[in-house]
Amino acid sequence: MDVLVIGSGAREHALVRALLDDPGVDRVVAAPGNAGIALVAPVEPVDATDPEAVTALAVRLGASLVVVGPEAPLVAGVADAVRAAGIPVFGPSGEAAKLEGSKAFAKEVMAAANVPTAMAHLCTTEDEVAAALDAFGAPHVVKDDGLAAGKGVVVTDDREAALAHARTCLAHGPVVVEEFLDGPEVSVFCLTDGESVVALAPAQDFKRALDGDEGPNTGGMGAYSPLPWAPEGLSAEVVERVAQPVIDEMARRGTPFNGVLYCGLALTSRGTRVIEFNARFGDPETQVVLARLATPLGAVLNACATGGLGEQPALRWKPEAAVTVVVASPGYPEKPVTGGLLRGLDAAEAVAGAAVLHAGTAAAPDGTGIVASGGRVLSVVGVGADLTDARGTAYEAVELIDLEGGHFRRDIALKAAQ
């Protein structure tokens, strides 16, 4: 099987590495990839959001499976174009990807499927936002209705800050104001071929930029798996009460969903509630989940793309724990400063049990090294016997990496390990 992976982040680097470990996969190509992916697999330049360009590349490479990583290409209809060319695709159609592309649409589908979620108001004016904020009370939750790369949500006790975020969102579309959901948050990825659904191991990510969950919201500063505190049977509950009803509803509407339904959940005092859906693997949770997956990845993704997921054997998991720590550029997330030279990557990669996955990296202009090219630069994964060991491995590797002005959180998985 020849696989083309679309995307350029640490999520795609994790996918490439897992696919390369699959004996059933002959070749993996990434497009456009990044400097780290280029060290382990061929990369091809492409506009990932251009359906025709991606399709032409897949045809030229003779790809037998295309795996679309990020959300923007999915919403743009990349999977539709590739599928129309007769190539199996892991990833939903543009219409099905509206589960992530529009929070209002996701709420509509959840209501039809009787899926438990937060109460919400769709607002198109500032007056409507103000009324919704007052109706729900603090903490206030304001979400951009469209794609926002994981940073379109504000949760705050400050009503003026909530209104300010809403004004920014209203400049280009509606906003969703929700009730606040108490309890810890969990990410569960559910693989599906449009009919059958299989859940991966739960993970938890850390959205705030600073230790102690302080600072601004980000795309994610770290993650870990497994979750020793999560209730037994959580994955089965998510499939039964959330993912399967949504997949069935999408099929009923004539827009079947194939790929991964990312279920962002809150384990509240009133039970499990859906915070949001994504139409792709989450980043950085993918890095830890795939580090623990023992089943070859290629066969599973291909089964989702070709309608055979229900015939696959049960997934197998490694007993070890995994922790990933994100190294970010100076100024991230508000005003990331890129171009800084990365040092110590080889030493970090040499740490037993560690893997350095590249997110925002590029070859240095003079060709003598690798520089930061994005806000989140690296995702350093540590695997160990338990969370304490995994944390130790991840942070040992992180400390060997030098990026002037770069920053990372020091408390990823700390409470869970304790």
Q: Is residue 103 part of a domain?
A: no
Are residue 353 and residue 393 in the same domain, yes or no? yes
Confidence (pLDDT) at 254: 97
Confidence (pLDDT) at 151: 53
**Number of domain units in the chain:** 4
Domain boundary among 152, 178, 204: 178
Are residue 189 and residue 261 in the same domain, yes or no? yes
Confidence (pLDDT) at 277: 93
Are residue 278 and residue 215 in the same domain, yes or no? yes
Are residue 171 and residue 187 in the same domain, yes or no? no
Q: Is residue 329 part of a domain?
A: yes
Are residue 173 and residue 193 in the same domain, yes or no? no
Q: Is residue 101 part of a domain?
A: no
Q: Is residue 300 part of a domain?
A: yes
Are residue 288 and residue 188 in the same domain, yes or no? yes
Say which CATH number the domain at 50 has: 3.40.50.20
Residue 222, domain extent? 183-311
Q: Is residue 98 part of a domain?
A: no
Are residue 301 and residue 331 in the same domain, yes or no? no
Count of alpha carbons within 13 angstroms of residue 251, beta-carbon side = 13
Count of all residues that appear for the chain in the document: 418
Burial class (CB in 10 A: 0-12, 13-18, 19+), 244: buried
Are residue 293 and residue 200 in the same domain, yes or no? yes
Say which CATH number the domain at 172 has: 3.30.1490.20
Say which CATH number the domain at 216 has: 3.30.470.20
Mean pLDDT by 10 residues, the chain (418 residues): 98 98 98 97 98 98 98 95 98 95 90 93 92 92 74 84 91 89 94 98 97 93 97 95 98 97 94 93 97 98 97 97 98 96 98 98 92 98 98 98 98 97
Q: Is residue 331 part of a domain?
A: yes
Q: Is residue 95 part of a domain?
A: no
Confidence (pLDDT) at 369: 94
Are residue 265 and residue 333 in the same domain, yes or no? no
Residue 312 CB: number of other CB atoms within 10 A?
17
Q: Maximum distance among all alpha carbons in the chain?
A: 58
Question: Are 359 and 376 in contact, with CB atoms under 8 Å apart?
Answer: yes
Are residue 330 and residue 241 in the same domain, yes or no? no
Are residue 239 and residue 252 in the same domain, yes or no? yes
Closest CA to 176 of 158, 160, 154: 154
Are residue 47 and residue 64 in the same domain, yes or no? yes
pTM for this predicted structure: 0.92
Q: Is residue 187 part of a domain?
A: yes
For residues 8 and 12, give the distance between their C-alpha atoms in angstroms, rounded to a whole number: 6
